[in-house]
Structure 1
């Protein structure tokens, strides 16, 4: 057993057959001095041949076990390396996605701040209902001119769309069946009184009430118009 302590485990299950084949090839096909590889194979074959048949199987089994263990260790190391690489890649992708989300949130916040500032500036520039001179009657053009001065410019078209559908800008319009009244067909009509006592004769008072209603209930005339389009009432 002492002769296999060094060389025995180097001879795998198929090494003996390969070694014999190699030696035979060298003997039959070469006319010169055998190569160093051939000599090494011959030595290994001699070592294996010196071991009793029963122990040869044990040596071969041990060698195969060592090879399997080495392959398993290599596979584990490769899998660990792949997992670490995948984790690094995922972490980088997550960091990029998080950064983009933060940038998008910041962009939207700035847009909201800009819109709010513009709306605030626009509203501060509008006229109050009481700043218009009282007349005995008003044309559609006059009422629309009032509305343009009272409603923020960015919201006027939506505001106008609702008034067009509700009353066609007739501040004295009355629904014969329900009693709804004025530019916005308020029901009951007395709702207008919260904006002024002259609501029956002053379209500016009705406009003030209608704008306040849209802002309070929906957030803005355009949001009120979006609701109207979906439901045909507001």
Structure 2
């Protein structure tokens, strides 16, 4: 009987001990964790103690941040969003640049005639799915996207400069070609006007438009200048008389234009003015020529 009583007492004591341990276990776990966190916080504070007079960090807030990580994660999310926006802008500008170069059809002189956007496009696609991405992977992807964005921006700027140079060269070439064509057209027109038929057509038109002289007066003019020079703008008489109207000296015709030596129209303009001022009409000048052999 005494032995049973002692056994019961030992069993009761063991049960009480186990209950006490069980009751203390959560407190020990929490105490250990809190001590560890607090130790980290204190150690950090000791290692990077603020300068004298500096604001002391809120220890409780620091511990809370260590548990939640809300502040750094928020900053990372904001940074990733900004990186994505910049990458999208750079990607859009590069793609537009590539299309512009292609549409121009110009021989762009550059190391690369299009911006390589493959890597940046991949980064943009991955950053758009950043919500489900682990923190470490998001950090690495953001850094890579920033590098790719800068590279694409530089390539775009280089290609823009090359395209601008090509456009300026084309504009200069087009202007030169237009000037050459205009000069050729003018030369052709001058050559046509300097022929006998061309000179007569010019004289008929100027006689009518400037002086109101009709076909009857032109008939007299045709007879007069056929006799004087055969309508040859290069005609020259040993006396010094020059050109279609046989101006004496030929330099008189400079009053009608500096090109009097090479342009039949300039000589005709001077000759008609001379006839008008001296004889009144071509027929009067022709009558005087027939009577005196000069006019």
**Range of TM-score over shorter length:** 0.3 to 0.5
**TM-score (normalised: structure 1):** 0.41
RCO higher in structure (CA 8 A, sep ≥6): 1
**TM-score (normalised: structure 2):** 0.33
